[in-house]
Amino acid sequence: IQLDHALREGLRAQQFVLHYQPRIDLRSGQLRSCEALLRWQHPERGLVLPSEFIGVAEETGFIVTLGDWVLDSAVQQAAAWLHAGTPCPVAVNVSALQFHQTDWVARVARALNAHALPAELLELELTESILIRDADEALERLLALRDLGVRLSLDDFGTGYSSLTYLKRFPLQQLKIDRCFIATMHTDPVDAAIVAAIIQMGQALQMEVVAEGVELAEQHARLLALGCDQFQGFLCSPAVPPEPFGQFLRQAR
């Protein structure tokens, strides 16, 4: 309860910021897009990571308000990059509670309209648990979001229920391999085989496959050999504040 109060105060006091982590094309090495990751700049506690507050925000329902702020901020930032001549698609993490708001699709459309951002520059990262809760409702929403032109990505793939049925059924354009598999793919042959299988399956379903948490050149080399499309991870860069990311974009041009 105390943390919930502090979170609400923090949002009012503009203590939340988005950092951006680059996503790189494995073959060309080019910057393709980025993921927006929420940080709380607490006056006393310093930079607080989502693992310390997302859970509580989900329990109290504050994640809906906070998630609206994240969506609007990320869309505003992507529009600013576009107008600066350095367009970069931005991916936003979506919580179950947000996704299940009855007017969720309208909220997404409103954010895009408010900042005049072309929908294809916004990507929504969903987890398997969101899709499994009410598959019919989820399908309906995903189709509406696809019709808006927003890109849809399945986050943390491999850790949840991983039903192949819904991979086929849902209009998803991207699959993100969870970093727990990437972390051990160069030492554990079973994890290496799982990563290879996920990449093959993504390709068969014509989905873009992204590897998360790539830290080592060896992981990068193996992913490239396996035909993975993109990677994200400390090997390239952690999530950074908007200004250095903007510099990144200008250099990448």
Interface contacts to Na ion, rule CB under 5 A: 93, 155
User: Could you say which of Na ion, ligand G, Mn ion, none residue 37 binds, taking C-beta under 5 to 8 angstroms by partner kind?
Assistant: ligand G
Structure tokens at 143: 């189709």
Nearer to ligand G, 155 or 208 (CB): 155
Structure tokens at 125: 């990262």
Residue 123 interacting with Mn ion (CB under 5 A): no
Site for ligand G in 161-180 (CB under 6 A): 179
Closest residue by Cα to residue 22 from 209, 250, 248, 253: 248
Site string for ligand G, 43-82 (x = CB under 6 A): ------xxx--x------------x--x------------
What span, in angstroms and rounded, lies between the C-alpha atoms of 248 and 179? 24
The label of the residue with tokens 């952690």 reads 238
What span, in angstroms and rounded, lies between the C-alpha atoms of 52 and 39? 10
Shortest separation between residue 35's beta carbon and Mn ion, angstroms: 5
Site for Mn ion in 82-101 (CB under 5 A): 93
Residue 212 interacting with ligand G (CB under 6 A): yes
Q: Within 13 Å of residue 210, how many CA atoms lie on the same side as its CB?
A: 26
Closest residue by Cα to residue 169 from 132, 212, 198: 132
Number of residues that bind ligand G (CB under 6 A): 22
Question: Is 154:187 a contact under the CB 8 Å cutoff?
Answer: no
| 104 dihedral zone (left: phi>0; alpha: psi -120 to 50; beta) | alpha
Site string for ligand G, 79-108 (x = CB under 6 A): --------------x-x-------------
Q: Choose which of 38, 48, 138, 228 interacts with ligand G (CB under 6 A).
A: 38
The label of the residue with tokens 């080592």 reads 216
Residues that bind ligand G (CB under 6 A): 21, 37-38, 49-51, 54, 67, 70, 93, 95, 155-156, 179, 212-215, 232-234, 239
Residues that bind Mn ion (CB under 5 A): 93, 125, 155
